[in-house]
A and B are shown apart, each in its own frame.
Chain A
Amino acid sequence: MAHASHALDRDMMLPPAEAETGSGVYTEKLGMWIFLLSEVMFFTALIGSYLILRVSKPDGWAAPNQILNVPVTAVNTFILICSSVTMVKAYAAAADGNQAKLKLWLVATVLIGATFVGVQVFEYNQLIHHGLVPGGFVAGRELAEAAASGAAFKGGPALPTSGGLYGSTFYTMTGFHGFHVTMGVICMIFVTFKAFQGKYTATDHRGVEVIGLYWHFVDLVWIILFTIVYLI
């Protein structure tokens, strides 16, 4: 058994030896999981409010693809899932001690993640152009006019006249998700730099696993969001 007085001699991917049995996982991983629990509650507040408000709204909600662009977002969902795959492949490479693959997959994750954010920004631009803002429909633009006309719109029934809740909930939920992805990309860039400095080994790649957990979580939230915001 490795003498634990030189902390870096031991496999850092295991819990510390000089302590009572705790969670059974090393401290940084435990810390990230616990932080993610707080994020679950944060998104519960936003997504839960959306569900509650939608159930309570008397005059209905727009149908899928009437206001939001489902095809583009579906592709974007696929893009984010791809970045999750590259992330987990980076982790596998780190565990194998394969420095070249680690760097490759990390860079890929950064680029694909940034692409996701870019497409979201593009989507926001489109929506504002069509007249959906956090406050609802902008008078005089396409969506407001369509709602006012009471006519069937884009393969679905007439738009509800007030887009206030639609805009509020959409922008807040996806906006904060996008914010979390952006923070993730920034942290991922730091991790990538460290990987290029050779800081991650087969016996210590905690940083890669931990940022990976955050990244997968952000993907997980999007899986939920895409379904209940865009498809339902």
Chain B
Amino acid sequence: MTSLATPVESHVQAHPDNRSFIQKYIFSTDHKIIGIQFLLMSLLFLTVGGMLAMIIRWQLGYPNKPLPGGTVLPETMAPGGVILPEFYTSAVTMHGTIMVFFAIMPLLVGVFGNFLIPLKIGAPDMAFPRINMASFWVAVPAGILMIAGFFVEGGHASAGWTSYAPLSADPEYTGVTAGQRIWCVSLIVLGLSSILGSMNYITTVINMRAPGMTWFRLPLSIWALFITSILVLLAIPILSGAVIMLLFDDVLGTHFFLPAQGGQPLLWQHLFWFFGHPEVYILILPAMGFVSDILSNGARKPIFGYHSMVYALIAIGFLGWIVWGHHMFQSGMNPTLGTSFMISTMLIAVPSAIKVFNWLGTLWGGKIRFHVPMMHALAFVSMFVIGGLSGVFMASTPVDIYIHDTYFIVAHLHYVLFGGSLFAIFGAVTFWYPKMFGRMMNPTLGKIHFVLTFVFYNLVFFPMHQLGLQGHMRRIYDPTIYDFLKPLGGLNRFITISAFLLFASQLLFAYNFIVSWFRGKKAPANPWEDTGLEWTTPSPPPHGNWPATPHVHQPPYEFNSPHVKESDFLPQTQSLDAIPGRSSAGAAH
């Protein structure tokens, strides 16, 4: 079925590129531009999410004191700079919502799914470029709507990012009317964007791999994005359905989750977490994929246990569907059901652990290059281990009954989402920046940003384990109302100060990102000496990516290959027969 004979003219390149500015950069169907569009949008939302975190931290560190500069906020949010409980609760809600849906998810899937998939599989673009464009431009109004929610009467949604019913279903409970509805509509619209995107990624990976790019020659970043896209495709519609029902309870008078006429609040929790658990794997799997690529590159060694890495990804993707109840141990759910969830949750630690050991195996004996992406990848591994270990505590129902809804959970989720996903994102952005923009980010700034971020991040989130164990609950506005929390005020203040320093350190990344775009060192095609297909085309690649369809001859991660003498890596497109002076024996496997 495959033809390895003559490379075929990419029919995209056959036509001269006479697109207008708008077609090239605004309403572009080019996956690389769409990826960058998602990048800019997501980084903006990451900043907004971070600012909301500062508001939360201020109130917890200095309860009821006026926020410095807080007088710019309207009276409805913070009169005299003192954060109102209602605004605090919506800040908590929106920090989670924005970070999960508008920052991390699009950064991992929208940006790198779009940018990397065609490039790393040897395709000229996505399977459906116009649907790809639609996917971005549908996400934009969703984002605008979500921001608009802050400015409506009654404030923004305040029922937590998990929006439990009946709190979220009846405005009488939160006092929030339009805000909650905007939250619902925004997520429904964003859901459509995600579904269109995931359909595109899946189809592209299945049907558009270049000749020679067999399934087991795919880089782990692509495997991870592929499995993630399947999770998105199947989980997001469940959220969409649930949010629609929630919205209907609010505006149409239905009773899905309102007990008065027979509705079931627990139904919301089941539906939400049936989506929500695959969602958290959506938020980590691509990061794991990027880390595999970067670690292998930095260690100049093939990934240890490539096949088991693939099977582990598949196992996590599959098991992730049957653990959702572990978010609900405290809900009053059926105890037998709860036990089965405890078992499945314990099981899912196994494939994750396999991946960690394989990363360590990759590093062992490697000739490590400590470039900035490598540092972030190393941080990912260590911080993910910590986050994963706290997860084992939570998997045990008797333990979770004690620590559920405390800061122990907040510590866990930030260790995996920040210590894991966000470090991987920083690493991935730095790693693929040259391919995106044709310039290198400044490495010195990158290293300083990394060190500061790593230090302050741990100072912020590690103490939260302690807070949680001592009973500090989540989402609380004023801990000082409880006597048993008063001694924790000092720790809260310490965390707050570290958090402000952490936020400030991100200015370095922002500066590096923006300035390097215009003044960064011009990037060659393969600045990291990597084996992937994307490095065989200029930085940035032309429309259509290659003049002719590339042919793949090697597995990924052929670093330190005995077949090459002049360099320490063997690109995936390199045919062994084409290397002069080699014996003809030894075909690519």
Could you tell me which A residues sit within 8 Å of B by CB distance?
Answer: 4-7, 15-23, 26-27, 30-31, 34-35, 37-39, 41-46, 49, 52-53, 56-59, 133-136, 162, 164-165, 167-169, 171-172, 176
Q: Is the CB of A27 within 8 A of B248?
A: no
Cβ 8 A contact of A38, one of B128, B199, B242: B199
Chain A binding surface, main DSSP class:
helix
Are A27 and B255 touching (Cβ within 8 A)? no
B11 and A5 within 8 A (CB):
yes
Choose one: A15, A31, A167; the contact of B199 (CB below 8 Å). A31
Q: B residues within 8 A CB of A59?
A: 262
Taking CB atoms, residues of chain B closer than 8 Å to A172 are 244-245, 248, 254, 256
Kindly list chain B residues whose C-beta atoms are within 8 Å of the C-beta of A15.
207
The minimal Cβ–Cβ distance linking A2 to chain B, given in whole angstroms, is 11
Q: Check if B206 sits within 8 Å of A53, measured CB to CB.
A: no
User: Known pairs A23-B207, A56-B264, A164-B255. 13 more at Cβ < 8 A?
Assistant: A18-B3, A19-B211, A20-B214, A27-B207, A30-B207, A38-B233, A41-B238, A42-B238, A46-B244, A136-B253, A168-B248, A169-B256, A172-B256
List residues of chain A with CB within 8 A of the CB of B253. Answer: 133-136
Residues of A within 8 A of B3 (CB): 4, 17-18
A152 to B11, CA, bound (A): 70
Measured CA separation A22–B2 after assembly (Å): 10
Q: Among the listed A31, A42, A52, which residue makes an inter-chain contact with B267, where contact means beta carbons less than 8 Å apart?
A: A52
A53-B263 Cα distance, complex, nearest whole Å = 7
Point out the residues of chain B lying under 8 angstroms from A53, CB to CB: 256, 262-264, 267
The answer to whether B180 has its CB under 8 Å from any CB of chain A is no
Q: Are A164 and B11 in contact (CB under 8 A)?
A: no
Chain B residues within 8 Å of A22, by CB: 206-209
Binding site for A on B (CB under 8 A): 1-3, 8-9, 11, 14, 123, 127-128, 195, 198-200, 202-203, 206-214, 233-238, 240-242, 244-245, 248-249, 252-256, 260-264, 267, 271, 549
A57 to chain B, nearest CB (A): 5
Asked whether B203 lies within 8 Å of A164 as measured between CB atoms, the reply is no
B205, closest chain A residue (CB):
A22
Compute how far the CA of A19 lies from the CA of B7 in the bound complex, rounded to whole angstroms. Answer: 11
How close is B567's CB to chain A, nearest CB, in angstroms?
27
Measured CA separation A6–B195 after assembly (Å): 32
Partner among B1, B202, B210, B262 whose Cβ is within 8 Å of the Cβ of A164? B262
Are A49 and B245 interface neighbours, CB within 8 A? yes
- Smallest CB–CB gap between B343 and chain A, Å? 23
Cα separation A53 to B256 with both chains bound (whole Å): 8
For A23, the chain B residues whose CB sits under 8 A away are: 206-207
Tell whether A39 pairs with B237 under 8 Å between CB atoms, given A21-B1, A31-B127: yes
The answer for the CA separation of A123 and B212 in the assembled complex, in Å, is: 56
Contacts of A167 in B (CB 8 A): 254
B195, B242, B254, most chain A CB atoms within 10 A: B254
The chain A residue with its CB closest to the CB of B9 is A5
Is A19 a contact partner of B207 (Cβ separation < 8 A)?
Answer: yes
